[in-house]
Amino acid sequence: MSQFAYHNGVLHAEGVPLSAIAEQFGTPTYIYSKAALLGNFAAYADACRGRDALVCYAMKANSNLAILDLLARQGAGFDIVSGGELLRVIAAGGDPRKVIFSGVGKTVDEMRLALEHDILCFNVESIPELHRLNDVAGSMGKRARISLRVNPNVDPKTHPYIATGLKANKFGVAFDDALATYRTAAQLPHLEVTGIDCHIGSQLLDDAPLLEALDRLIELIDTLGKEGIVLHHLDIGGGIGINYGEAGEASPVAVADYLGRVFAKVDAWRAARHHGAPIKVIFEPGRSIVGNTGVLLTRVEFLKHGEEKNFCVVDAAMNDMMRPALYEAWMDMQPVAPGQAPAQTYDVVGPICESGDWLARDRKLAVQPGDLLAMMQAGAYGLTMASNYNTRGRAAEVIVDGDVCHLVRRRETPAELYALESVIK
């Protein structure tokens, strides 16, 4: 259930009016609902109850420490893609033994850090990476647990920039090369082959491509088993999408239904063919945990009437939320307190010096300067993809819990943005 709703004509996050948050913390500000976050995680946790399963939240979607802490306390593991993300997990009190490390370019230092903290598994994406990890683990007198990220060549039917499991994508080991790559891995003395992994793409509304990918992984696990390479976990990745509110948009599959179908497939397979060790199922959801838990609150600076278009210039910009600029993503824009101003069609744009700096296009809005707007469903891939372009400090972040609003990241000041730099004497 959405925790963002109008009461007495004002948009609220749980029990707090967004206008009060603007007053106290300024704009632009990301606002998250604790209840929505816990509800989304519970959908995964409930579907996994009684199963050998682990939900590793893909923290690239939103890595605020307070969010990581809340999820860690619910038992979440984490899918990371950098040493920095691992340090965040640790800072937030997460358990490194529930961390899996994805990504095509892990450095020696990142491998060392992850081995020092004894993470659950490295999702290895290439043969050179296998050798590097073997060397690093050997130099530390350790064995690294690994899975191979296999590219099942399944079309996820999503935006090309967020499809990851096709032959043309940089990710994973080609399905046809997987067997040979596993044989190589199994021979490396400082690696322990424990699993298999894939992630075919993001913002998938239908689970059919995910289930097709699962079939391909199962086929490979059987083949490997015949060679004596026994796997202990199967990681199906993330990818379940959310509704962004665009007209005609299809509904995403319900998490409980999707997980139910995954477990049914795994059970049927094990009953029919698999007699080896039990297999743990891992999920790496990002957007479906945080996407609808957050909004980006912004204030209208000016209304500008151009020759062809009307512009609503706000104080948030592409540096705060780059999904529209990067993917032409459609994000819903709602007035915080719908007023009496005449409705007009606007492009909602930021102050950055780029024509690509837009947040919404051709929206009918009844706004005037000083009004507040909320970009809805902005909890995933918002602040984590933000930049300091145009020397703009990153937005503040708050979490609402009932009637209480907690500041969980303060706004960056301009001086902080150049504090790392120096002039040449």
Ligand X SMILES: Cc1ncc(COP(=O)(O)O)c(C=O)c1O
Ligand Y SMILES: N[C@@H](CCCC[NH3+])C(=O)O
Residue of 106, 151, 114 whose CA lies nearest to 132:
106
> CB 283 → ligand X: shortest distance, Å?
9
> CB 379 → ligand X: shortest distance, Å?
11
Q: Contact between 162 and ligand Y (CB under 6 A)?
A: yes
- Asked if residues 173 and 126 have their Cβ atoms less than 8 Å apart, the reply is yes
Nearer to ligand X by C-beta: 58 or 178? Answer: 58
Residues 43, 33: Cα–Cα separation, whole Å: 16
Q: Which residue is nearest to ligand Y (CB)?
A: 381
Residues 34, 78: Cα–Cα separation, whole Å: 18
Residues 115, 365: Cα–Cα separation, whole Å: 52
> CB 304 → ligand Y: shortest distance, Å?
28
Three-class secondary structure of residue 344 per DSSP: strand
Contact positions with ligand Y (CB under 6 A) in 34-63: 60
Q: Contact between 323 and ligand Y (CB under 6 A)?
A: yes
Out of 346, 381, 393, 400, point to the residue binding ligand Y (CB under 6 A): 381
CA pseudo-torsion sign 283, 287, 291, 292: negative
> CB 62 → ligand Y: shortest distance, Å?
11
Q: Which does 285 bind (CB under 5 to 8 A by kind): ligand X, ligand Y, none?
A: ligand X
Nearer to ligand X by C-beta: 18 or 162? Answer: 162
Q: Contact between 202 and ligand Y (CB under 6 A)?
A: yes
Residue of 150, 181, 180 whose CA lies nearest to 164:
150
Q: Contact between 100 and ligand Y (CB under 6 A)?
A: no
Binding-site residues, in ranges, read: 239, 284-287, 323, 327, 354, 381
Residues 54, 68: Cα–Cα separation, whole Å: 16
> CB 203 → ligand Y: shortest distance, Å?
6
Residues that bind ligand X (CB under 6 A): 58, 61, 79, 102, 164, 199, 202, 237-240, 284-288
Nearer to ligand Y by C-beta: 225 or 245? Answer: 245
Q: Contact between 158 and ligand Y (CB under 6 A)?
A: no
CA distances, 407 to each of 22, 29, 65, 209 (Å): 12, 10, 12, 39
Q: Contact between 101 and ligand Y (CB under 6 A)?
A: no
One of 48, 121, 353, 405 is an active-site residue; which one?
353
> CB 188 → ligand Y: shortest distance, Å?
27
Residues 157, 67: Cα–Cα separation, whole Å: 30
Q: To 5 degrees, how large is the angle CA 376–CA 384–CA 233?
A: 105
Residues 126, 123: Cα–Cα separation, whole Å: 10
Residues that bind ligand Y (rule: CB under 6 A) add up to a total of: 7
Residue of 179, 193, 216 whose CA lies nearest to 143:
193
Q: Which does 96 bind (CB under 5 to 8 A by kind): ligand X, ligand Y, none?
A: none
Binding-site residues for pyridoxal 5'-phosphate, in ranges, read: 239, 284-287, 381
Q: Is 48 a catalytic residue?
A: no
Q: Which residue intervals of 167-317 are DSSP H helices? A: 178-187, 208-226, 255-272, 287-290
Q: Contact between 399 and ligand Y (CB under 6 A)?
A: no
Binding-site residues for substrate, in ranges, read: 287, 323, 327, 354, 381
Three-class secondary structure of residue 28 per DSSP: coil
Q: Which does 284 bind (CB under 5 to 8 A by kind): ligand X, ligand Y, none?
A: ligand X
Nearer to ligand X by C-beta: 102 or 153? Answer: 102
Nearer to ligand X by C-beta: 28 or 286? Answer: 286
Q: Which does 323 bind (CB under 5 to 8 A by kind): ligand X, ligand Y, none?
A: ligand Y
Out of 134, 147, 203, 292, point to the residue binding ligand Y (CB under 6 A): 203
Q: What are the percentages of helix, strand and coil residues in the chain, rounded to 5?
A: 35, 25, 40
Which distant-in-sequence residues (6+ apart) come within 8 Å of 43 by Cβ? 254, 255, 256
Nearer to ligand X by C-beta: 96 or 285? Answer: 285
Strand bridging mode 144-151 / 191-197:
parallel
Side chain identity at residue 35, one-letter code: A
Q: Which does 237 bind (CB under 5 to 8 A by kind): ligand X, ligand Y, none?
A: ligand X
Beta strands per DSSP E along 306-343: 310-314, 333-335
Contact residues: ligand Y, CB under 6 A = 60, 162, 164, 202-203, 323, 381
| Residues annotated catalytic, as ranges | 353
